[in-house]
């Protein structure tokens, strides 16, 4: 059975938000394939804001980037979209594709923009190549720990180093505001600081603390935390300023950092309160990226 080929494809690369992120002790066994990585346990939701990726069957594979955050990103072979293409091309016969990425999400900001772009590219490539579910999973994880969950792009419990996924349905949605203060944070550096900074951040468990397995999204979020927030804030104190700006807003039920930062989210009782909070923060900080959004739908 051959895969039906669409000449033009489009995908949205939605922002990934770690409502909770529990981290365990670094994998210290050099014979382990995930040596140097950390076991994690996370409740992941997706926002209704994201990058847009378009592809068109062409004579040669290329990438063009535009959009508000396009200038901060090179369109060369280091880009995760071209890495995804290359990884699939090693396994299957795929046509050259001309990709256009509209970069809406800030780069290196804890909301998986690069991972979501790679995942969007994989979803497009799935229309051009027939590989087994296991092969797609191996390719996704080889591109980044967040890529498999971004391929799913729906509410999930994530464990292992990021590749063990369990989809969660019926948990509804949350009104939220995302805020990034315009400072890039290196994921690897924050994990390193997490390792070396103890006991300042508390004791590191060998396996990460499990998630609450009942209740709605807000109850589950409130039960957990982001273990990377203290080491990231120590590296980038502006994160604390963002968290305070969010928690000061009327109706803010919870404020927390996502991923390795620096983007933080605030959860609000309703859409009006989220919009009012976003307007107030944007007015005080015109240089910050501030977006009211819905988390967990679709
Ligand atoms: C922090 C999270 O965003 C939470 O969702 C992810 O775990 C990070 O996912 P990602 O950005 O796709 O990460 P990768 O590109 O695979 O790894 C970047 C770096 O983060 C560290 N890393 C990442 C994932 C993990 N489970 N343990 C780690 O220690 C490693 O030092 C690695 O070199
Ligand atoms: N298409 C892309 N978009 C964004 N970053 C990319 C892309 N391709 C490669 N990168 C590189 O990947 C790195 C991480 O980008 P990304 O936006 O996924 O980080 P992040 O939001 O911190 O992720 P996480 O939530 O997984 O920690 C950046 O330093 C960037 O240079």
Per annotation, catalytic residue among 41, 51, 117, 146: 146
Instruction: Please spell the DSSP secondary structure of 133-185, one letter per residue.
Output: HHHHHHHHHHH-TTHHHHHH-S-EEEETTTTEEEE--S---EEEEEEE-S---
| Cα separation, 140 vs 148, whole angstroms | 5
pLDDT tens-digit map of 11-65:
999 999 999 999 999 999 999 999 999 999 999 999 999 999 999 999 999 999 9
Asked if 8-167 and 174-295 have one fold, the answer is no
Mark whether 146 is an active-site residue.
Answer: yes
> Among all chains, which residue has been given the structure tokens 């950092």?
257
Indicate whether residue 260 lines ligand 2 (CB < 6 A): yes
What's the pTM? 0.96
Instruction: Give the list of residues 6+ apart from residue 11 with CB closer than 8 angstroms, or none.
Output: 52, 53, 120, 121, 123, 124
Query: Any catalytic annotation for residue 98?
Result: no
Q: What is the distance, to the nearest Å, from the Cα of residue 132 to the centroid of all Cα atoms in its chain?
A: 24
ipTM comes to 0.96
> Which whole number is the average pLDDT over 259-285?
97
| Burial group, residue 287, by CB count within 10 angstroms (0-12, 13-18, 19+) | exposed
Q: How many CB atoms lie within 10 A of CB 286?
A: 7
Residue to mutate, 15, 25, 191, 261, ligand 1, most ligand atoms under 8 Å from C-beta: 191
User: Residue 178 and residue 270: Cα distance in Å, rounded?
Assistant: 15
Domain ranges of the chain: 8-167, 174-295
Ligand at minimal distance from the CA of 141 is 1
How does residue 197 score in pLDDT terms, banded at 50, 70 and 90? confident
Name residues contacting ligand 1 (CB within 6 A): 18, 21, 37-38, 40, 42, 112, 115, 144-146, 161-162, 187-188, 191, 259-260
Determine contact, residues 116/105, Cβ cutoff 8 Å.
Answer: yes
Residue 278 and residue 288: Cα distance in Å, rounded? 11
Q: Does domain 174-295 have CATH number 2.60.120.200?
A: no
CATH topology for 8-167? Answer: Ribosomal Protein S5; domain 2 (3.30.230)
């Amino acid at each position: 059975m051959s895969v039906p080929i669409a000449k033009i494809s489009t995908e949205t690369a939605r922002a990934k938000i770690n409502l909770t992120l529990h981290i365990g002790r670094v994998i210290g066994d050099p014979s382990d394939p995930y040596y140097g990585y950390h076991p994690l346990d996370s409740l992941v939701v997706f926002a209704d804001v994201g990058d847009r990726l378009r592809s068109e069957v062409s004579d040669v594979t290329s990438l063009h980037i535009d959009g508000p955050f396009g200038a901060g990103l090179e369109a060369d072979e280091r880009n995760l979209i071209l890495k995804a293409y290359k990884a699939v091309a090693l396994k299957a016969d795929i046509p050259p594709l001309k990709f256009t990425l509209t970069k809406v999400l800030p780069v290196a900001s804890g909301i998986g923009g690069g991972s979501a772009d790679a995942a969007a590219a994989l979803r497009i490539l799935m229309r051009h190549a027939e590989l087994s579910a296991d092969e797609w999973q191996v390719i996704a994880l080889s591109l980044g720990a967040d890529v498999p969950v971004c391929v799913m792009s729906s509410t999930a419990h994530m464990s292992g180093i990021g590749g063990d996924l369990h989809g969660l349905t019926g948990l509804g949605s949350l009104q939220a505001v995302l805020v990034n203060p315009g400072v890039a944070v290196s994921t690897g550096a924050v994990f390193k600081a997490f390792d070396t900074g103890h006991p300042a951040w508390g004791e590191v468990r060998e396996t990460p603390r499990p998630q609450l397995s009942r209740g709605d999204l807000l109850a589950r979020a409130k039960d957990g935390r982001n273990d990377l927030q203290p080491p990231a804030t120590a590296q980038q104190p502006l994160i604390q300023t963002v968290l305070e700006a969010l928690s000061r807003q009327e109706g803010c039920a919870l404020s927390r950092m996502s991923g390795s930062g620096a983007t933080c989210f605030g959860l609000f009782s309703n859409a009006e309160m989220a919009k009012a909070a976003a307007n107030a923060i944007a007015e005080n900080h015109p240089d910050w990226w501030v977006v009211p959004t819905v988390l967990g739908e679709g």
